Amino acid sequence: MSRDTALVSADWAEKNLDAPGVVFVEVDEDTTAYDAGHIPGAIKLDWKTDLQDPVRRDFVNKQQFEALLSERGIGNDDTVILYGGNNNWFAAYAYWYFKLYGHRDVKLLDGGRKKWELDARTLTKDPVTRPATQYVAQEPDLTIRAFRDEAVAAIGTKNLVDVRSPDEFAGRLLAPAHLPQEQAQRAGHIPTAVNVPWSKAANEDGTFKSDDDLRQIYGDAGLDDSKATIAYCRIGERSSHTWFVLKELLGHQDVKNYDGSWTEYGSLVGVPVVLGDEPGKA
C-alpha cells in the first residue's frame, strides 16, 4: 500500500464527485454534521448505530456488514472514498473495517471534512439514495486486529504504540479533553508502549504529513518495520488513524489495531499499568 492507492486529495475528490463506480461515504460518530451539509452524492454511515453491534461490545459481524453495505448501495467493485469529522478518526476506523472485510478498493479523503470545510468547498443537504446491492464480504482479516491477550503478550516484545495525547498516556487525563474525565478504567498506559500521539501524523488542516516526515516521526520513536506493531488509543478510532499511516501509507508489514484499547485494557484485572511519561519496563 502507499499514498497513491490509499489516499485521495480534496481536489481529486471534487473532480470525481460524479465518477461512475466511485462512492463517497461520510463516517461520523455523530452524524448531525452530515445532515447539516455533506459532500454532494455522499451517503452516511453512523459509526455507532451502523458499525457497532447494538448489544455487546464489538463491531458489526460479516453478515451485518454485508446487509449494511447492500442496503446503502455499495457494491463489491465500487471505489469507496471515506471521509468524516474529528480529523478522519471514524473514517479511518471504517477504512479499517472495509479492509478487515476484504473490500478491494477503499481510500481516505485527505483532510476529511475539516479541510473540505476550511477550503469552503461545496456541501449540500440534498438527500442521497443509491440502489441496493448484494454485497459479499470476506471473512475478517485478523492479521490487522489485535485482541487483549495479544496486547498483554506484546509487552516488551512487539512495538506497542499508544497514540493518545501525552496527558492520557501519562495518566493525567482519562479521555480526550473534549470529553468529561470521569471514567471507569484506571489511568496510565501499557508497559513498554511508546507515546506517539495520532496528531503527530497530521497537519493542522487534518491532512497527513509527507511520507518523509512520517518516517522520521515513527523512526525517531523507535518504531521500525523489523518488529510487529500494535496500535491502541482509548476506543480504537485514533489508533485506526495511526494504523492507516503505518500500514497503508508507510507500508509496514505487520501492524494491528487493538480496538479494545484503553477502555478495555485499563479495566482488566491484574494486568501491569505504567503511570508517567516514560514507556516503563516489561
Partner 1 sequence: MTAVTSANTAAGCAAPDQSAPIPASVDLEKETVITGTVVADSGEAVAGAYVRLLDSTGEFTAEVVTSPEGLFRFFAAPGTWTLRALSRHGNGDATVTASQGINQVGVTVA
Catalytic residue numbers, as ranges: 233
Residue among 118 and 132 whose Cβ is closer to partner 1: 118
Instruction: Give the helix/strand (H/E) hosting 40.
Output: none
Position 126 contacts partner 1 (CB under 8 A): no
C-alpha Rg value of the chain to the nearest Å: 18
For residue 178, the minimal CB distance to partner 1 (Å) is 4
Residue tagged 473534549 (cell numbers):
178
Stretch that binds partner 1, among 12-20, 27-35, 64-72, 209-217 (CB under 8 A): 27-35
The amino acid at residue 22 is V
Position 172 contacts partner 1 (CB under 8 A): yes
Question: By rule CB under 8 A, what string of x and - marks binding of each residue 185-214 to partner 1?
Answer: ------------x-x----xx---------
Position 276 contacts partner 1 (CB under 8 A): no
Residue among 97 and 135 whose Cβ is closer to partner 1: 97
What's the burial of 6, exposed, middle or buried (CB within 10 Å: 0-12/13-18/19+)? buried
79-83: strand order across its sheet: 7-8, 106-109, 79-83, 22-28, 43-46
CB 7 within 8 A of CB 110: yes
For residue 14, the minimal CB distance to partner 1 (Å) is 17
Stretch that binds partner 1, among 1-9, 87-95, 124-132, 207-215 (CB under 8 A): 87-95
Residue tagged 455522499 (cell numbers):
42
Residue 64, φ and ψ in degrees, nearest 5:
-65, -40
Residue among 85 and 260 whose Cβ is closer to partner 1: 85
Which three cell numbers, joined as nine digits, stand for 123? 456541501
Position 82 contacts partner 1 (CB under 8 A): no
Stretch that binds partner 1, among 100-108, 146-154, 161-169, 266-274 (CB under 8 A): 161-169
The amino acid at residue 255 is V
Biggest alpha carbon–alpha carbon distance for the chain:
55
- Chain positions contacting partner 1, by CB under 8 A: 28-30, 32-33, 47-48, 85-87, 89-90, 114, 117-118, 120, 165-167, 172-173, 175-183, 197, 199, 204-205, 234-235, 237-238
